[in-house]
Amino acid sequence: MAEDGVDIANASAPGEGWLTESDFDDLSADDELVLARIPPPLPLLPVPEHVSQPGDELCHDCSILRLKRSRFIVWPKDPDYGGYVRPDANFIELGNVKDMRQRKNCPFCRLVLQALGGDRVPNIASDGSPVKAQMCWTTDGTRDRNMPWNGRSEIRILRIYGRTGSGGFLGIEEMNLFPDISLLANDFPSEAPAKAQRFLPRPIQPECIDFKVVRRWLAICETNHSKVCGNRANMKQMGWTDPAGAIPDFRFIDLEDRCLVRASGNPRYAALSYVWGREPFFCMTSENLAVLQKPGAFDKEEIWSQIPATIQDAMTVAREIGIRYLWVDSLCIFQDLIDIDNMTGEEEVIMAGKMGAIRVMDYVYGAAYVVICAAGSRSAHSGIMGVRPGTREFMQPIEEIAPGFRLAYRQKPHDGIESFPYFKRGWTFQERHFATRLLTFANGQVSLRCSSDISFQEDTWDDESVISSKRPPSFAGEGNDIGDGVEGPIQNYSEMQLTKQSDIYNAFAGVARQIRMQLNCDICHGLPVKYFDWLLLWHPLKKEQIRREGAPSWSWSGWQGGAFPRMWDWYTRDMKAIRKALRRRTWIVWYHRHGPHSTRCSLVHKHGRMSEDSQRNFYGGPIRKRFSFDCSQTEPTPRTLTEFEPTEYYFDVISTRPYSGYLQFWTVSAVFEIAETKTPWPEKGGPPPGKQLGIFGKSGDELGLIMVPTSWLKGNPAPCKREFFLICEARDLRVAGRKDMDVDDHEWRYRVMLVEPKAKGEYYERVTIGSIGRGDEMDSFGEGPCWKEFILG
């Protein structure tokens, strides 16, 4: 139940027990305010007793910092007052982390170490140098709605950095992201500008999470941006009707009647996103469904004792925030163990329903009123830290510098993210991606992020003035940003782990549908076909990737370890500009083979201008004369793969035409030598993972650079001559100023793919991507470049 007698979730329509979205259409503005009434701000909690310890005293290095309470406020007389936050500068050395750990009685040293990452921070960096702590003064304050990454200067904070002796930064697995320290709100100077206090960290309830805080967040969201954060926005843009109509046997846990119930209409419910873990646990099956549907089923000890702790705690969370219905996959989808090769007729029906539900998980999580994200729970048996009294298991990072002067580290929900299995799992990616309201439990704390791109956390003041009427542009159908809308989701998902590699498309199906709707085009084995050539230019994120044999080598889906498409980085984020450039900078007409033993091929993408006698390229641009030999052949030759070794490609559920994964096409083939190079990588950010080598022509000139997997080099030691094919034109470097991207033709080069023959040369697989200058193809070995047909698998 919500405070003040307002039960947001259970103000039910007669006989239904929930409010449907149609009910909200009939509410007046005053009624909506009553439903989403914001409880009064919660009082400031007292300072915890643990912040002051006997024998505490600032060490010599910290005492000379001359930290004062007043310095953490931007006063009206200060030059920074009201101005924008400036970039970090004027770094202050705090010393070696190893030495700071020895100063156990220095409260500021302890706080800096906690902010950096605690025990995760090494004393010695990977390069063998001592790890050092640095800090700098910067400011924080009211966010600018037009520039949410920036804010006005109202308080001062200390930004903390972990640096190696060689000047580099520690990685995310070794330290927290952008930690900062500021004055505890309890010590706010009475003479300071009053509004500055709300940007200071505040104490949180030590024993367990205070759900009055969470209910207040939800009320603020309902009042100020319900049109953006309500599930109707998701449903409209994704073309959904209601979950019950789209998902076979859609069920919930009814937390009032304590049983499973069938859904109807568009109910208000919470959905749980969590990690199962390896240890088996109680699930819903065709055998126990009848028992679980009886009112009071979850009150029976023989059933309740089998429900894992994370799911029990999720039920508590839903009740605490006033939500009657909870969706949990293990209890709302059949989990029968079925031998797929020997299914009975009844088992086929169960499996079809299960797979049908799995493929619309975006719908389940996108239509939920709130998604409960058990990010800090390592398995279904772990429970959700902080839900039950005594389960916080951590002390809030607050230290007393002097009497009446306490500093605190604002702990972030993503601190230690690399150690959480949840953020590495492929299935959980789209669960949080589609959540309109994501209630995240991690590090013993709870935070809320909603679709308005506004977030709340326990040790931060709730700002009820925040109002947003526009959804961030990354959602389907909005925006023109290739980074947010396409490449970002692909990169983030490609880094995730899957227990079953065959789920690579299943766990991405919802996000793929979103991208497909945004671009109004199909997706072929993970790549939107409107940007096909340039999306083929992805680089690996890890030094050594593992081949995922059931997916094609040319797509990120064919590799474990993550892919960086980076089109936005070297060209532009503007999708309209990219489409225009592709019409000019490409020439391959891509065909998709229906099967390895089939001679049938279909165009990967057919633009509106394409016809049989069209003189247009793959993207609708006029054909340009690039090469000095005949390149007119583009249609595939009818061919079967006689030497083909049977490999079952994973079914491409994200495509409207899920063919084999083998591409057939004509382009320029050339042979170059790859050998050691002394040429530095041209970009400041450094090269992608792998062994940096040069691409050399028969003249001996170095034509370009390439990063080659070290595992491939074991069987192909450099120097060696290998076949490449030309993909398209692209840039190697960022565009200075992001203007006149197509004017300087000399900056455009040919991207080439190093390929390896398979099945006695009947088809090829990708090894890596490099680049050469335009015209450098004529410097190839043998008889020179030629127009050749490839099958890429």
Q: Which of the pair, 15 or 761, is modelled with greater confidence?
A: 761
Residue 655 and residue 608 share a domain? yes
- Joined together, the tokens standing for residue 390 give 């005594």
Predicted pLDDT at 370: 95
Tally of CB atoms within 10 A around 472: 15
Residue 170 and residue 253 share a domain? no
Predicted pLDDT at 613: 47
* Peptide bond connecting 719 to the previous residue in cis, omega within 30 degrees of 0: yes
Residue 358 pLDDT more than 50?
yes
Nearest 10 degrees: Cα torsion 289, 294, 300, 305: 30
Q: Closest Cα to residue 249, out of 334, 344, 324? A: 334
CA distance 467 to 470: 9
- For helices 509-519 and 231-238, the axis angle rounded to 10 degrees is 70
Predicted pLDDT at 152: 87
For the ranges 8-17, 275-284, 597-606, the lowest mean pLDDT is seen at 8-17
Task: Using pLDDT thresholds of 50, 70 and 90, give the confidence band for residue 470.
Answer: low
Residue 224 and residue 179 share a domain? no
Q: Which of the pair, 740 or 35, is modelled with greater confidence?
A: 740
Q: Are 452 and 530 in contact (CB under 8 A)?
A: no
Residue 252 domain-assigned (yes or no): yes
pLDDT digits (tens, 9 = 90+) for 481-503: 898 889 999 999 999 999 889 99
pLDDT digits (tens, 9 = 90+) for 57-67: 999 999 999 99
Residue 395 domain-assigned (yes or no): yes
Classify strands 92-96 and 251-254 as parallel, antiparallel or unpaired: unpaired
Task: Using pLDDT thresholds of 50, 70 and 90, give the confidence band for residue 341.
Answer: low
Residue 533 domain-assigned (yes or no): no
DSSP annotation of 485 reads I
Residue 82 and residue 21 share a domain? no
Residue 49 pLDDT more than 70?
yes
Q: Closest Cα to residue 206, out of 410, 443, 395, 462? A: 395
Q: What is the pTM assigned to this prediction? A: 0.84
Predicted pLDDT at 188: 96
Q: Which of the pair, 348 or 395, is modelled with greater confidence?
A: 395
Residue 405 domain-assigned (yes or no): yes
Residue 529 domain-assigned (yes or no): no
Q: Are 590 and 618 in contact (CB under 8 A)?
A: yes
Residue 541 domain-assigned (yes or no): no
Q: What is the mean pLDDT of residues 542-555?
A: 90
Q: Which of the pair, 121 or 33, is modelled with greater confidence?
A: 121
Residue 143 and residue 12 share a domain? no
Task: Using pLDDT thresholds of 50, 70 and 90, give the confidence band for residue 12.
Answer: very low
Q: Are 497 and 542 in contact (CB under 8 A)?
A: no
Q: Are 702 and 694 in contact (CB under 8 A)?
A: yes
Burial class (CB in 10 A: 0-12, 13-18, 19+), 421: middle
Q: What is the mean pLDDT of residues 70-79?
A: 94
pLDDT digits (tens, 9 = 90+) for 228-269: 787 666 666 667 677 777 676 789 999 999 999 998 777 889
Residue 669 and residue 780 share a domain? yes
Q: Closest Cα to residue 531, out of 479, 569, 594, 583? A: 583
The last residue of one of the domains, among 176, 199, 222, is 199
Q: What is the mean pLDDT of residues 149-162?
A: 89
Q: Are 328 and 253 in contact (CB under 8 A)?
A: yes
Enclosing H/E stretch for 752: strand 748-758
Count CA atoms closer than 13 A to 552's CA, side-chain side.
Answer: 26
Task: Using pLDDT thresholds of 50, 70 and 90, give the confidence band for residue 373.
Answer: very high
Residue 230 and residue 189 share a domain? no
Beta bridge mates, 691: 708
Residue 362 and residue 429 share a domain? yes
Residue 424 and residue 297 share a domain? yes
Enclosing H/E stretch for 114: helix 107-116
Helix ranges (DSSP H) in 621-670: none
Task: Using pLDDT thresholds of 50, 70 and 90, give the confidence band for residue 346.
Answer: low
- Joined together, the tokens standing for residue 369 give 């009123």
Residue 500 domain-assigned (yes or no): no
Tally of CB atoms within 10 A around 373: 29
Report the percent of the chain where pLDDT is more than 70: 85
Specify the number of domains making up the chain: 3
Predicted pLDDT at 238: 66
Residue 516 domain-assigned (yes or no): no
Predicted pLDDT at 644: 65
Residue 694 and residue 757 share a domain? yes
Q: What is the mean pLDDT of residues 133-154?
A: 82
The last residue of one of the domains, among 168, 199, 230, is 199
Predicted pLDDT at 310: 97
Predicted pLDDT at 463: 75
Q: What is the mean pLDDT of residues 305-328?
A: 96
Predicted pLDDT at 151: 81
Q: How far is CA 726 from CA 24, 567, 670, 774, 790, in A?
A: 57, 18, 8, 10, 11
Residue 271 pLDDT more than 50?
yes
Q: Closest Cα to residue 547, out of 327, 364, 711, 740? A: 711
Beta bridge mates, 674: 695, 720
Report the percent of the chain where pLDDT is more than 90: 54
The last residue of one of the domains, among 179, 199, 219, is 199
Predicted pLDDT at 147: 64
Tally of CB atoms within 10 A around 614: 12
Phi, psi of 50 (to 5 degrees): -75, -10
CA of residue 560 relative to chain centroid, distance:
16
Q: What is the mean pLDDT of the chain?
A: 85
For the ranges 1-15, 32-46, 184-198, 600-614, the lowest mean pLDDT is seen at 1-15
Q: Which of the pair, 519 or 4, is modelled with greater confidence?
A: 519
Residue 277 and residue 179 share a domain? no
pLDDT digits (tens, 9 = 90+) for 385-401: 999 998 988 889 999 99
Residue 476 pLDDT more than 70?
no
Query: Domain of 351?
Result: 3-37+210-457
Q: 């994704």: which residue's tokens?
A: 238
Q: Which of the pair, 90 or 328, is modelled with greater confidence?
A: 328
Predicted pLDDT at 654: 87
Residue 71 and residue 169 share a domain? yes
